[in-house]
Amino acid sequence: GVIKEDELRHPTMLDKNGELCLIVVKNSNTTDVTISRATGIESFVWEYDDSGIRSTSMEIAIHSYDKKDGVFSAPGDSESVVIDAKSRIVGIITGGTCSQIDSIDVTYASPYYWIAEHIKGAFPDSYLYSTLA
């Protein structure tokens, strides 16, 4: 399944500090399997190319717990799928800060529900992933 917008914005899981969050996992080329927490805070990013054509994306922030936990992602991990503890798709990694020096590590992922809405809007008969009956 897929994490829906409401659950992404109002997480019900607790991190190791007792704070509400969405526990997430990914397995990627560079950093292998890592576990962290998504904030549920969404932001829109608008980018313009040289011809003035605008592209829009939505991102959620994924933070490491603290410096000793290491980074959630690094260069080469973009396009990796992020899932929750129930194996539901949360999003796809688009970038991040990858900084262990100042204890600030933020990974950005586009929420999958948002990606799926846009794909279905352009290709209504598309089949994005299989589900178990």
CB 3 within 8 A of CB 9: no
Is 127 part of any domain? no
Measure Cα distances from 108 to 7, 62, 99, 129 in Å: 18, 6, 13, 22
Is 65 part of any domain? yes
Residue 128 phi/psi, 5-degree rounding, is -90, -35
Is 92 part of any domain? yes
Is 13 part of any domain? yes
Quote the pLDDT of residue 70. Answer: 78
Model pLDDT for residues 66-117, shown as the tens digit of each residue: 667 778 888 888 889 999 989 999 999 988 886 656 667 888 999 999 999 9
Q: Is the pLDDT of residue 29 over 60?
A: yes
The pTM of this model reads 0.81
Q: How confident is the model at residue 18 (pLDDT cuts 50, 70, 90)?
A: confident
Number of domains in the chain: 1
Is 81 part of any domain? yes
pLDDT average, residue stretch 42-69: 76
What CATH number has the domain bearing residue 44? 2.40.10.10
Q: Which of 17-21, 114-118, 119-123, 126-130 has the lowest mean pLDDT?
A: 126-130
Is 80 part of any domain? yes
Is 132 part of any domain? no
Is 33 part of any domain? yes
Q: Is the pLDDT of residue 133 over 70?
A: no
Burial of 55 (0-12, 13-18, 19+ CB in 10 A): exposed
The domain of 112 spans: 5-118
